[in-house]
Amino acid sequence: MNERIRELAVEAGIISAEYNGFDPTGLTTAQRKFAELIVRECMRMCEVAEMSFVTHDCDVEASGAITVKQFIAEHFGVEE
């Protein structure tokens, strides 16, 4: 996970913007895991969309779904 997760946690009021604890994100292990699971679920839905496009011979759209999955992984710092 990366700085963007911390920024969203601050925006949601989960942690303080001034947090200066040991973990650089300021999130507990459970909070980090929850954020990661949400990001992974979004990535999984891109895979579902890809398979639907492949089934309907929409190769360009399928490629786009995989590109979006990769962008999500990079944006939030999650390994695929």
Domain ranges of the chain: 3-76
Over residues 13-21, mean pLDDT: 75
Say if residue 22's pLDDT is above 60.
no
What integer best gives the mean pLDDT of the chain? 88
Distance CA 4, CA 2 (A): 5
In the chain, the percentage of residues whose pLDDT exceeds 70 is 90
Q: What pLDDT was estimated at residue 19?
A: 63
d(CA 77, CA 50): 21
What torsion do the CA atoms of 25, 26, 30, 36 make, to the nearest 10 degrees? -20
Collapsing DSSP to helix, strand or coil, 6 comes out as helix
| Residue 12 Cα to chain centre, angstroms | 16
Q: What is the average per-residue pLDDT within 52-77?
A: 95
Pair of tokens at residue 49: 């969309």
